[in-house]
Structure 1
Amino acid sequence: MLIRTEAPADILTVDRLVRSAFDTEAEAKLVMSLRENSHLTLALVACSDDGEVIGHCLFSPVTLNGDDLNWQGLAPLCVKKEHQKQGIAEALVKEGLEMLTELGYPVVVVLGDSNYYQRFGFESATNYDMHSKWEVPEGAFMIKACSSEFLEGRSGLIEYCPEFDVL
């Protein structure tokens, strides 16, 4: 398996993958909108040994109390159904977090299964008195900083790009 940044030639393949991975087309429309509106910071694809795109992971900017601090949101993350439960999503997330840190993005948030994302160092955003505008289960909105100094003295509302409001 190879993980690499998404290339323009991948766009239609990624669109088909995202459409097949979720119950509705909302996530595929979100990915396209983020791309079209230049709100995509990092997009990674996982490719099988024969070059087939079998996974996708996207990061886009988020703000804290309206301030752009170079923080990122992870969403969506998907793997082709027949390739799930093989560590592909985990590899995508790890690679994405590593790349973002290297590029100087200090904090990543995610809305998802806390049992899954804790393995990457995510913890509940409520531990830092931070929240999203959506009603979500306790612990589902999580945050990870490359260093705790980026969270010190901060609290409030974390907002994703406007494209997320159509979900």
Structure 2
Amino acid sequence: MVEFELREAGRADAFAISILVETSFEGSREDRLIKDLRAEDALGLELVAIERGHVIGHAAFPRLSRPEGWYALAPLTVRADRRRMGVGSALVRVGIDRLRQAEAPALLVLGDPDYYERFGFSLGAAAKLRSAYPKNNLMMLAFAPGLSGAAFDVDYPSVFLRN
């Protein structure tokens, strides 16, 4: 297990986050997405994992365009040599806790159900959501009662369509 601290990302972290994201994903699509989300003030929460002064993990939680107050988790990045050490899980759990405390109604994620279901995300909870994204990867974690399994139109910030 690696020792690290989790905190909200600050302006001084932007360059290190950019390097992390570009080296973790093929190409710069996700890095451009994060920069565009920041530029449009669409990031509701941004967390980093720090080990000995270096960013080893990052999680972005943009606000959805609709429904109002809903969030997404996208993207989640962990440095390759720090994967499977609890960094990603810690980023997700802290993000969930902070959004729940902020009384966000729901959190969506597009990803592997085998990974995200352990945090409470569910394909079934998102089954009736209408979105531009495939249903086999879209999961929801509802914080507010009555949202799980309900039908809603879901729009991610427009920067997702450009990236």
1:2 corresponds in structure 2 to 5
Report if the CA contact (8 A) 1:133-1:157 is conserved: no
Report if the CA contact (8 A) 2:126-2:148 is conserved: no
Q: CA RMSD in A?
A: 1.7
1:26 corresponds in structure 2 to 29
1:2-24: CA deviations, max 9, x gaps? 00000110011111111111012
1:144 corresponds in structure 2 to 141
Equivalences for residues 1-167 of structure 1 within 5 A: 1-48=4-51, 50-64=52-66, 67-68=67-68, 70-124=69-123, 128-134=127-133, 136=134, 138-149=135-146, 151=147, 154-167=150-163
Amino acid at match of 1:165: L
Structure 2's unaligned 5+ residue stretches are none
Amino acid at match of 1:115: D
1:41-76: CA deviations, max 9, x gaps? 00000011x121100000011144xx42x0001100
1:68-99: CA deviations, max 9, x gaps? 2x000110000011111111000000000000
Instruction: Report how many aligned residue pairs link the two structures.
Output: 160
1:74-127: CA deviations, max 9, x gaps? 100000111111110000000000001111212000000011000000001565
Amino acid at match of 1:85: R
Q: What is the CA-CA distance between 1:145 and the residue it aligns to?
A: 1.0
- Sequence identity percentage: 32
Give the secondary-structure state (helix, strand or coil) at the position aligned to 2:63: strand
Give the secondary-structure state (helix, strand or coil) at the position aligned to 2:71: strand
Amino acid at match of 2:73: L
CA gap of 1:152–1:140, structure 2 versus 1, over 3 A, is: closer
Report if the CA contact (8 A) 1:125-1:141 is conserved: no
Q: TM-score, normalised to structure 2's length?
A: 0.91
Amino acid at match of 2:104: Y
CA gap of 1:153–1:122, structure 2 versus 1, over 3 A, is: closer
Q: Which runs of 4+ in 1 moved over 4 A?
A: 125-128
Q: TM-score, normalised to structure 1's length?
A: 0.89
- Counterpart Cα distance in 2 of 1:51 and 1:166: 33
Give the secondary-structure state (helix, strand or coil) at the position aligned to 2:20: helix
Q: Answer 1 or 2: which has greater strand percent.
A: 1
Q: What is the CA-CA distance between 1:152 and the residue it aligns to?
A: 6.3
Report if the CA contact (8 A) 1:125-1:131 is conserved: no
Amino acid at match of 1:82: D
